[in-house]
Amino acid sequence: MRTRDFEQREYDCFISYGSEDLELAEQMAAFIESSGLKVFIDKRRFFAATEVDEGLAIKMSQSKSCLALLSSHSIEKPYVKEEIRLAKSEAVNHSEFRLVAAILEQGFQPSDHIKGLGLRSWLSLVDGHLTVESARNLLLSLRMPESLPHKGQPHVYVSCSWRDEETHPRDEVLAQMKAQGAFLVGDSRDQSSFQEEGAKRIHRIMSGCSGFLAIYPDRTETQKTPEELYKYFPVELEIARELGLVERIYCARRKSLPTSIRGKSVLEWKEGTPWPDLQSQVASFLDDVGTKHPHSFLATDYKRSQNRNEAAKDIIENLVGMQCHLGKEVLGSDLRKQIRILIRDANLVIADLGCSLQDNEVRININTCIEAGIAFAHEKPLFLTMLDPTVQDSGASKTHSVPFFFRDHSIEWYQDDHGFLANIYRIAFNRRRRVINDELH
């Protein structure tokens, strides 16, 4: 199971490199940071190659991944060797930690130089710059992917305590839910605080579910009221009821709950007492939940930059744990109606209004604008991206390139294909959710 301590680490990526590759390391750091992640890069590389900074061990232990820029010269640096050793240790102790190698020389095999390297992923940077493929591989390798649901799986939002020291029936209930086919989701562990747009974030995640499962622990402190001890649980329950989700609530002790969530519908569990009807309770609940599936929709000019669009789809699906649809995938009769329904029911819509230039102006994709308009009309979470016209003409007007209807909407500009993928990653990362099935044995 993923631990909260690991998810709360300060850095998303530690970059290890030889001093000769500082410029490339800075480029990689800028790209990763433009994707919405936080990078640690030590710019005090030791040219004498005799010292190792002891503080790097602390920085590595505060990171979720390590990107190692490896070549025949960097692999001989004492500090690079030490950073690789530290990263290997993190990977052994934490299954979530990602050790990623970027190969800088044709034919270079890092495993020939470091035994038991245990890479989680690798990519080629032989030419010294990112391609669509290498940018995709890098972004996908920095964190564990979220699983996608199977067809027909009921989606259930889980509201519970993740403190193992508390008394609760969490593990037993979740195991039975998973065994009977539920797709269990929740708020991501690495979200810093519930207060930071927390209710809106939870509302967005729950809106893709049909069921609400609450598992409340037994909390009692003489210095705090039940409302203080359980302060976030009632908020989530209120959101679930606002959305009309089918609910099932378990608790360890009904009397300890605040009055706002205490009631006959709350099923009390006694530690050490057999629970013979749990299987049937879960089956009945999941039957009521049904099989509504959330999904995202990427509106784009799919006749151009097909590889880039497929890479964007992979990024979205891996981050949010829901399928991403492209218009080109729609088959059969009445295509326009099918696309309208996909957009109407989407949990997230990203529209790339224009991805090529003509006479120093962005060539607007009319179909994408229509799809974005459908999302806007249905009040879907809509995010717009667009090629920056100033990449070819520094005097070009960005505003003039934007269709009038979207000029008051925030635009995520990009200058090249990997900049587009960075935008896609940042949008999806800020809307990530947690697939709890992945954490259950």
CA distances, 250 to each of 46, 173, 217, 257, 266 (Å): 57, 9, 9, 11, 6
Among 33, 37, 41, 38, CA closest to 69: 41
Q: What is the mean pLDDT of residues 172-176?
A: 93
> For residue 61, what are the contacts with CB-CB under 8 A and spacing of at least 6?
9, 86, 90
Rounded CA-CA distance 426/393 in Å is: 26
Its pTM stands at 0.89
CA distances, 199 to each of 36, 204, 239 (Å): 21, 9, 8
At 219, the pLDDT band (50, 70, 90 cuts) reads confident
CA distances, 172 to each of 45, 215, 273 (Å): 51, 11, 12
Rounded CA-CA distance 368/112 in Å is: 49
**CB-based contact 67:100 (threshold 8 Å):** yes
310: helix, coil or strand?
Answer: helix
Give the per-residue pLDDT at 383.
96
Rounded CA-CA distance 380/346 in Å is: 7
Q: What is the mean pLDDT of residues 268-275?
A: 78
Q: Count Cβ atoms within 10 A of the Cβ of residue 102 and give its class: 0-12 exposed, 13-18 middle, 19 or more buried.
A: buried
At 117, the pLDDT band (50, 70, 90 cuts) reads low
Place of tokens 């300060």: 10
Greater confidence, 296 or 112? 296
Among 233-237, 268-272, 364-368, the range scoring the smallest mean pLDDT is: 268-272
Place of tokens 């199971």: 1
Tokens at 423, concatenated: 């935008």
Tokens at 41, concatenated: 């890069």
Rounded CA-CA distance 14/16 in Å is: 7
Instruction: With a cut of 80, say whether residue 326 has pLDDT above it.
Output: yes
pLDDT, tens digit, 9 for 90 and up, residues 408-426 = 889 999 999 999 999 999 9
Q: Which residues pair with 135 in a beta bridge?
A: none
Structural domains in the chain, CATH included, are 4-141 (3.40.50.10140), 155-292 (3.40.50.10140), 295-429 (3.40.50.450)
Query: What average pLDDT does the structure give for the chain?
Result: 87
At 303, the pLDDT band (50, 70, 90 cuts) reads confident
The DSSP string of 374-386 is: HHHHTT--EEEEE
Instruction: With a cut of 70, say whether residue 52 has pLDDT above it.
Output: no
**CB-based contact 55:122 (threshold 8 Å):** no
pLDDT, tens digit, 9 for 90 and up, residues 385-411 = 999 988 877 777 787 788 888 888 899
pLDDT, tens digit, 9 for 90 and up, residues 35-51 = 999 999 987 654 444 45
Instruction: With a cut of 50, say whether residue 323 has pLDDT above it.
Output: yes
Give the per-residue pLDDT at 195.
57
262: helix, coil or strand?
Answer: coil
Give the per-residue pLDDT at 53.
65
- Using only C-alpha atoms, what is the Rg of the chain? 24
